[in-house]
A and B are shown apart, each in its own frame.
Chain A
Amino acid sequence: MLRLEPRTSPSHAMAIASPVIAAVAMLVTGFLLFRLLGKDPVEAAYIFFVKPLNSSYGLGELLLKATPLMLCALGLGLGFQANVWNIGAEGQLTMGAIFGGGVALWLGDSSTWWGLPLMLVAGVIGGMLWAAIAAWLRTRFNTNEILVTLMLVYIAQLYLSYLVHGPWRDPAGHNFPQSRGFADAQTMPLLFDGGRTNWGFLFGLILAGALWFFSRRTYAGFRLQVAGLAPAAAAYAGFSEKRNIWLALLISGATAGLAGICEVAGPIGQMQQQISPGYGFAAIIVAWVGRLHPIGIVLASLLMSLLYLGGESGQMSMALPSAITGLFQGLLLFYLLAADLFITFRLRNVRTTGQPDQAPAAPVAAASSGGPGATPLESSP
């Protein structure tokens, strides 16, 4: 009988290696899948994972698509470390876009230098306020933040829908639910010509450094870590649980809000009903694949971004269905969770010994002596 047994000491090296193992397993499965579909797997792998990157425009798009994933995942990762489960980054992203975008529409055609910074600040505040609702309910009424943050996603999206259908609708847009385009002064400066990558990506990198510093080098960051690793110890040390919850949710709300304003002031350039194809949710996978570590998250966001681009490339060049992107994302998460399971547990073939009535004693003894040292008793030294 197969049984999962906890390991006495989970391997630290494997904890870092498991995303790599998951990525390799994903590739191997993809390889087999392409073969089953009758496509040349080598060509498919090339088109999926290499072709999107062999032009400067493609590389730029990789960074552009990685930006919102990275921003959201960095904040989420910090919260997850502290056992605060904000899964509503999508809603905080939407609120960030609404606050920042509202400033952009209010500014209209004016080209002041402070317009864009004000939009970014407004976006951050929007995301923080939305996460603060969950923080307040959790600390005041002990409400489950998983449910609250998730449900606030739909409220934020409906509010955005109301705004672009009504007060913010472009009068010259034939009633289509979208606002006027933002003026040039109210759009994110590009990092290089000929692409669409904007300053948002730099914000992501800076934030990754800042959050690394925060969680490894500051007392507040240390308290968050302890709260996640050993809640009882944190309580014993007198660390306020409430303060940790507020901090984790406000930071993750802020980064998601920044992602939202960077999207609408970046590649979208106006307010519209659909501003994110689920970046806030995909960022949860990114945070886990990145091991909740800022550097890991930066790399994981690039990988996730590549899966989106590869899916499009596969459609264009090999007529693969668009579902391939979701399939690869699912495979990656599945293998990661599986790999993580085996870091803390091991699979053992345990022989059941509690059936003396049915089996005569002699064959059991013969069988156990036949196996070289695999009796269940040996596992407890």
Chain B
Amino acid sequence: MKRSRLLGVALASIALSVGALGAAQAADPLKMAFVYVGPVGDGGWTFAHDLGRKAMEKALGSKVSTSFVENVPESGDAERVIRDLATKGNTIILTTSFGYMDSTLKVAKSFPKVEFYHATGFKSASNVTIYNSRMYEPAYLAGIIAGHMSKTGKLGFVASFPIPEVVRNINAYTMGARSVNSKITTKVVWVSTWYDPSKERQAAEALIGQGADVLLQNTDSSATLQTAQDKGVYAFGWDSDMAAYAPKAHLASAIETWGGYYTKLAEAALAGKPLKQTVWGGIREGMNDLVNVNPVIPETARKIVAAKKAEIAGGMQVFTGPIMGQDGSVKVAAGKSLTDKEIDSVNWYVEGVEGQLPGQK
């Protein structure tokens, strides 16, 4: 009894002194590091994260100091980079690609005092928090535009990996288009990489060759959009505003805006209460948007898109029934919606998507 009380006092005093130490260090800037899968100049995914980093730096000034490592492969190297960043005194580390999941968890185990934020994975831990953006919302809006703009009735999608995050964007894009024209179909080409402009270009060329005239991609560069412009068809920007890369082909950009979230999580850490909640925001939370809508799109279509965007911002769920599967069977009944958990594990195509998910029987 007495001993345990003594222990309690000892623990309390340690906690106090650690707290005091934390207060004394508060004058130092909060060190945050980012791990990027592509180059910061990819114009898409990694560029968007880097814009978020800069926006946060601007908002918080000298209270934070940031660094990043780009082009880190999703292989044995990721673990070293993440560990190095942790040993260099970074107290917040953001690993911004799906494939960093296991490396992040492994390193997080040996650095319990560092907070890790992993973009788009599905495994968390006491100091690993997941964040993601509901890109299927702007993908759905892009689909509505595609439905109005396609002459061939065939859409193309350059896809990276058959994970739920990508599959649901293909689905949302197709659903948006079919809400305008129920005969539209979507062809998908898988490139098995996040960032490889030459592979992305080849995939886009293959899709255009098969008659697709409005393309969307879930890869990180602007290659698909630029290919579309070269071949005289339409496409969208993805992750970042890509209008400048191909102004003629560019219909709109589905962008991610990480700055607000990064600022919030840095502020929380500065206040000593790091965010631990899984974050999955969309248009409503200001984590993504559809921007820079091209004036060549008919006025009526633009109005429909604006109205749908307002509905989504007001809480409308994109994956609301009736939704049919590829074989025409009802996947989601009228009036029902997929739960977040279902959206995050989707491994089936909606009606209108052609072909088979890789590895599915």
Contacts and interface: CB of A to CB of B under 8 A. Distances in A.
- A, B in one complex: yes
Interface stretch (A137-145, A286-294, A314-322, A348-356): A314-322
Contacts, number: 84
Contact of B359 (A175, A270, A276, A323): A175
Interface string A271-290: 01111110000000000000
Interface in B134-181: 161-164, 167
A266 interface: yes
Interface stretch (A78-86, A161-169, A222-230, A238-246): A161-169
A275 B75 contact: yes
Interface in A151-194: 161, 165-166, 169, 174-178, 181
Given A175-B162, A316-B85, A166 B359 contact: yes
A14 to B, nearest CB: 36
B161 A175 contact: yes
A77 to B, nearest CB: 24
Contacts of A315: 67-70
Interface string B52-90: 000000000000000111110111110111011101100
A159 to B, nearest CB: 13
A9 interface: no
Contact of B163 (A175, A273, A275, A316): A175
A329 to B, nearest CB: 14
A351 B193 CA distance: 57
A57 interface: yes
* Interface range for B: 35 or more
B76 A322 contact: no
Contacts of A322: 39, 69-71
B122 interface: yes
Contacts of A166: 358-359
Contacts of B83: 57
A275 to B, nearest CB: 6
B280 to A, nearest CB: 15
Contacts of A270: 102
B69 A176 contact: no
B192 interface: yes
A323 B40 CA distance: 11
B292 interface: no
A90 interface: no
A55 B87 contact: yes
Contacts of B102: 181, 270
Interface of A: 55, 57-58, 61, 64, 161, 165-166, 169, 174-178, 181, 196, 263, 266-268, 270, 272-277, 312-313, 315-317, 319, 321-323
